Chains A and B, each alone.
Chain A
Amino acid sequence: MTTERPYAGLKKLLATRRLTLTQRKKLWAYIFVALPFAYFLIVNISAMLNSFIFSFQDYMTISTERTWIGLDNYTSTLSNPIFHQALRNTLVFAAVRVPVVTVLGLGVALMLHNIRRAKGFFRMLYFIPFVTSGVAIAWVFKFLYLPNFGLFTHLFDALGLPRQYFLGDPRTALLSIIAVTIWASLGYYALIFLAGLEDIPVEFYEAAMVDGASAWQRFRNITLPLLNRTIVLVVILCMISSLQNFTFVRMMSKDGFGGPLNSTVTMSLLIYKEAFFSLRMGGASAIAVIFFAIIFVLTLVQRRLLVREFEY
């Protein structure tokens, strides 16, 4: 085994100091971990702290001057009707998407788990949107949703349903976007469920079958309780991704900023707009801090409410 050349000098230095093996190991550990740890401190931790600081300052991008203004950014944010709309839309987004994704994802996973052949093929079909960029998906669905000319209009006509303007109508715009995000992530969550299902020992089902339990009873009394951790995981992951959704609302809302009539404006879109179009970095940071607090609290609450410990 040859020595690593770039380290030769350092190694010699360490050797002359006559450190014990343990000391040497410790030293190397610090050397190896220094750069990655410093990276996380600078890029993530200090960015987060800076966001807190900016939120108490009057800070526009163009002017480099920053003055402390106390809670002004927070009070003006909380009295801004668009902020209320964004908060409501974001919560609706999660409240609609999470249950639908959880139920459909579990359904698809159960069927994928049960079928005997072509499992890999079907798994692949559902998972494909996960590797497709949100921008590409958004373009395709914008085309499908196109009023009057789009395929969905023709489909509604053929089914005898009233014509919809989908993304152009404040009443349906948000739901239309949510539907796309459900389509796009269903396979991903189904795959997480599938991994959970495969972890449940087959013996439990065999024992239940011997006792004459019906399919529903087996699902209700074995699958659901033992899948609890996976369900909690899916709910939390899906909730966080729903709250943070940016690509689809940015791409699919009428004007790119939550239109029509702010019916699709969300928290992340509002932060983006405040910071990079209204050029209010301080105001954007205040929204970001509130946003972070909401995600944090909701995640903790869900953990508390949903986790049931089962040993097996």
Chain B
Amino acid sequence: MRETNNPNRLWLRPGQIAQYGLLSIGGFIMIFPYLWMVSTSLKARGTWYNISLIPEQFSLEHYDRLLGTSLLPRWYLNTLVVALVATASVAFFSSLAGYVFAKYEFFGREFMFMIILATIMIPTEMMIVPWYVGIATIGWIDTLPGIMMPGMLSAFGVFVMRQFIANTPDELLDAGRIDGVSEFGLFWRICLPLARPALAVVVIFTFLGHWNDFLWPLIVVNSDNMQTLQVGLSRLSSLETGADWGGTMSGAALASIPMLVVFMFFQKQIVRGMKMSGLKG
């Protein structure tokens, strides 16, 4: 509904003002829990129940404790390793599979692609028991490879990459072939660089998914050392005696702030990704 009259006059129309008002109220509701989280995390032990956004007794003790004496830094590292390795694998193999499905004709192509797409429909809850059994058989319980295993490839990634790489002109690939580029080289040097926007989307969403993953790591991890950030965070309070709201709030802040920073940097890619990823059905 874009009227093309003088924009400066429309700026102050009552309709616009009402919408800004509603959006601001909603935006406040969105942002307030974060403010409360950070505020509580900065309140000195025992002053958690004071109803004030600005801490009366300002203290960094919870951060100090989490980063200094708890295993949280180790959990950070575990999560980072899991997320980075799995994301690299998803990025490479999804693109490779997407490239093949987009650019090659071969027997069984449609069938294979359909099978891969169909896996999106299988709920994780249905696979965790067989995964657990399989992981236990090869002795990967409570290890980082065990946490990564189900997330090393993504059907969504294959789908997005295929859609995008399909737009690469065949002439470009044929020209490469004439110049003696190998079939893998066509993928690595031509298709992949051209598919960078789609790849960025796959990478960001995969990394985000692994960083925030909860159900599977919760099952596969036992020892305190091998926790991912989310699993460790979920058990933060039970590690201590009684309610430790300063600890949990600073833990929540430490777990969410890296992703907020990532989001600020890649906002454009995320928004564009949601538009082009074929999510629109």
Q: Are B30 and A126 in contact (CB under 8 A)?
A: yes
Q: Are A131 and B23 in contact (CB under 8 A)?
A: no
Interface residue SS majority, chain B: helix
**Bound Cα distance A5, B10 (Å):** 64
Interface residues of A in 200-214 (CB under 8 A from B): 202, 205, 209
Q: Are B251 and A36 in contact (CB under 8 A)?
A: no
Rounded to whole Å, the gap between the CB of B146 and the closest CB of chain A is: 13
Rounded to whole Å, the gap between the CB of A294 and the closest CB of chain B is: 10
B-chain residues with CB within 8 Å of residue A276 when the two chains form the complex: 132, 219
Per-residue 0/1 for B157-192: is the Cβ within 8 Å of any A Cβ (1 yes, 0 no)? Answer: 010000000000000000001011111110101000
**Bound Cα distance A137, B127 (Å):** 26
Per-residue 0/1 for B260-280: is the Cβ within 8 Å of any A Cβ (1 yes, 0 no)? Answer: 101110010011001100011
Rounded to whole Å, the gap between the CB of B62 and the closest CB of chain A is: 13
**Bound Cα distance A148, B156 (Å):** 45
Rounded to whole Å, the gap between the CB of B260 and the closest CB of chain A is: 6
A124 CB–B CB distance under 8 Å: yes
Q: For this complex, into which size category does the number of interface residues on chain A fall?
A: 35 or more
Q: Which of A128, A202, A218 has the most CB of B within 10 A?
A: A128
**Bound Cα distance A43, B131 (Å):** 8
Rounded to whole Å, the gap between the CB of B268 and the closest CB of chain A is: 9
Q: Are B33 and A141 in contact (CB under 8 A)?
A: yes
**Bound Cα distance A284, B123 (Å):** 14
B63 CB–A CB distance under 8 Å: no
A285 CB–B CB distance under 8 Å: yes
List the A residue with the shortest CB-CB distance to B1: A205
B-chain residues with CB within 8 Å of residue A218 when the two chains form the complex: 1
Q: Are B281 and A47 in contact (CB under 8 A)?
A: no
Q: If A134-B212, A135-B255, A281-B129 touch, does A140 touch B33 (CB 8 Å cutoff)?
A: yes
List the A residue with the shortest CB-CB distance to B234: A135
Per-residue 0/1 for B97-125: is the Cβ within 8 Å of any A Cβ (1 yes, 0 no)? Answer: 10111001111010010011001011111
B-chain residues with CB within 8 Å of residue A195 when the two chains form the complex: 274-275, 279-280
**Bound Cα distance A251, B134 (Å):** 27
Q: Are B122 and A247 in contact (CB under 8 A)?
A: no
- Nearest 3 interchain pairs by C-beta: A136-B252, A29-B104, A50-B130
Q: Show 27 residue pairs from A and B whose CB-CB distance is below 8 angstroms, ordered by the A residue.
A: A25-B105, A26-B107, A29-B104, A29-B109, A32-B100, A32-B187, A40-B115, A40-B116, A50-B129, A111-B23, A112-B23, A117-B11, A131-B263, A133-B259, A135-B252, A139-B251, A143-B37, A144-B33, A202-B2, A229-B280, A246-B214, A251-B234, A271-B125, A272-B125, A276-B219, A285-B129, A291-B125
Chain B residues packing against A (C-beta within 8 Å): 1-3, 7, 10-11, 15-16, 19-20, 22-23, 26-27, 29-31, 33-34, 36-37, 40, 48-49, 51, 93-94, 96-97, 99-101, 104-107, 109, 112, 115-116, 119, 121-134, 149-150, 152-153, 155, 158, 177, 179-185, 187, 189, 208, 211-212, 214-215, 218-219, 229-230, 233-234, 236, 245, 248-249, 251-253, 255-256, 259-260, 262-264, 267, 270-271, 274-275, 279-281
Chain A residues packing against B (C-beta within 8 Å): 1, 3-4, 7, 11, 21, 24-26, 28-30, 32-33, 35-37, 39-41, 43-48, 50-51, 54, 108, 111-117, 120, 122-129, 131-141, 143-144, 149, 151, 154, 183, 186-187, 191-192, 195-196, 198-199, 202, 205, 209, 215, 218, 229-230, 232-233, 240, 243-244, 246-247, 250-251, 267-268, 271-272, 275-276, 281, 284-285, 288-289, 291-292, 295-296, 299
